Chain A
């Protein structure tokens, strides 16, 4: 029927639009980045220069790539024990009990806090705390940023992990209990092997999330354009350098920032794709 044909065509066009948007994004980022790559070649990726002075402009992405990866890795390491414990709490120890529902809601709320609020809290509460502990003179740096990042990605790791853990078949667990295993032993010998890839995927996705975080990190990392060499040194990430330096940027500097955006886009895209692939394999 004619009206049906029109309707189907409309839906199809809308879907095609998504593909165009995605392709357009790749195209726009690439073409915006070309001037920078033309000028600096692929060395852009491993160069740690960041010199905006006229006449001697030289830009490189290394400090920011390093900063992004280091903070995200540390954040992930900090997040793993917390997220794992919380998902065990929700999906195993107190499964379907009221307290688990409560915890689950709290974790959801964690996910809803805007990045800038995390940054504020990190700045006004965490930072002085770090200074008090004597770990760093001003409290800025890789560690503080990673810490706040870890808190921010916990919900993403937890919600997927707890779902995976709750899906481990009961009869497997019961067989182990029937042989006298303790709960701990069931967790590490039955649940974990079974849920391994799903939990792994949840951490990968959390990692992908951490890579792209902007505001909270910007406010805590110190914004120095160097490759960090110590846990409490300051640094910078791809997302925050774009946010900070975008304001008056043009020409080569703008192109370099866009190039950094492209690199960030590619890295997060890859990580997320890997995570989703693992989940698909599970289904």
Chain B
């Protein structure tokens, strides 16, 4: 076991011997063992092609979209193997936000927020629905901006607002974990700052795992950081410690910009 990978006090997700191949022998993720801390922000960083998005998407089983992808190893959510759950249950507990903001274009802002319930056919009483929508939009600091246009389609919103709407959509469904795949790389700096503040605020109630190609972002908002390189997990621990005192030479090279 890699000594540069720390154990965690309160793990909510355990990844054991995880390997993912896109195509027979080309392994994008190689034998990863790591634990994700509950109610913390964990950043996964590394150069392009290191496997960080692949790893993230394994957690909510998005790879099943593509039958040629082979996954070995186990992932446990609260000690339950995610392969033993239905994807419907799993994705109720683990939500995902994508790089490009993608509110559903044919639905109003209101319907977008409760899309998780609506599309899954879960009926809610109107009061409950209204409450969920309001709370979620307040949590992402969008409520004041859209409360008068809730029933309009969200296409007039700016990129940053759309992304916060997508986050609202995810938390409305009340997951335990929120996965984010480079959530701010398509946003301008001001929108990025607002999303980052939001994530720090949200970790109180949710576990946040985010993939980022921007190490300053990792330094800014994450409690724990993972550094991946060529499919391997090189180092994992407290962000502060890793940035000031990286243990692995590769980590240090990355953090000092010797390669991107």
A and B touch in the complex (CB under 8 A): yes
Which residues of A line the B interface, CB within 8 A? 1
Interchain CA distance A40-B254 in the complex, whole Å: 83
B184 to chain A, nearest CB (A): 32
3 sample A-B contacts, Cβ–Cβ < 8 Å, listed by A number? A1-B86, A1-B87, A1-B88
Nearest chain-A residue to B88 (Cβ)?
Answer: A1
Interchain CA distance A1-B86 in the complex, whole Å: 8
Interchain CA distance A10-B86 in the complex, whole Å: 22
Interchain CA distance A113-B11 in the complex, whole Å: 70
CB-CB < 8 A to B86: which residues of A?
1
**Restricting to B60-104, which residues have a CB under 8 Å from any CB of A?**
86-88
Interchain CA distance A120-B86 in the complex, whole Å: 64
B119 to chain A, nearest CB (A): 13
3 smallest CB-CB distances across A and B, nearest first, come from A1-B87, A1-B86, A1-B88
CB-CB < 8 A to B88: which residues of A?
1
Interchain CA distance A1-B87 in the complex, whole Å: 8
CB-CB < 8 A to A1: which residues of B?
86-88
A92 to chain B, nearest CB (A): 37
A11 to chain B, nearest CB (A): 15
Interchain CA distance A1-B88 in the complex, whole Å: 9
B91 to chain A, nearest CB (A): 12
A1 to chain B, nearest CB (A): 7
B83 to chain A, nearest CB (A): 13
B90 to chain A, nearest CB (A): 12
A4 to chain B, nearest CB (A): 10
CB-CB < 8 A to B87: which residues of A?
1
A197 to chain B, nearest CB (A): 34
A120 to chain B, nearest CB (A): 44
Interchain CA distance A137-B88 in the complex, whole Å: 78
Nearest chain-A residue to B87 (Cβ)?
Answer: A1
A14 to chain B, nearest CB (A): 20
Nearest chain-A residue to B86 (Cβ)?
Answer: A1
Interchain CA distance A130-B87 in the complex, whole Å: 73
Interchain CA distance A259-B228 in the complex, whole Å: 69
B65 to chain A, nearest CB (A): 11
B201 to chain A, nearest CB (A): 35
Interchain CA distance A1-B120 in the complex, whole Å: 14
A12 to chain B, nearest CB (A): 14
Interchain CA distance A236-B87 in the complex, whole Å: 64
Interchain CA distance A1-B85 in the complex, whole Å: 11
A161 to chain B, nearest CB (A): 35
B185 to chain A, nearest CB (A): 31
Interchain CA distance A1-B61 in the complex, whole Å: 13
B161 to chain A, nearest CB (A): 33
**Restricting to B188-240, which residues have a CB under 8 Å from any CB of A?**
none
Interchain CA distance A244-B88 in the complex, whole Å: 61
A171 to chain B, nearest CB (A): 30
B63 to chain A, nearest CB (A): 15
A3 to chain B, nearest CB (A): 10
Interchain CA distance A1-B90 in the complex, whole Å: 13
**Restricting to B39-54, which residues have a CB under 8 Å from any CB of A?**
none
B61 to chain A, nearest CB (A): 11
Interchain CA distance A64-B206 in the complex, whole Å: 77
Interchain CA distance A183-B118 in the complex, whole Å: 60
Interchain CA distance A29-B86 in the complex, whole Å: 50
A230 to chain B, nearest CB (A): 62
B222 to chain A, nearest CB (A): 34
**Restricting to B109-130, which residues have a CB under 8 Å from any CB of A?**
none
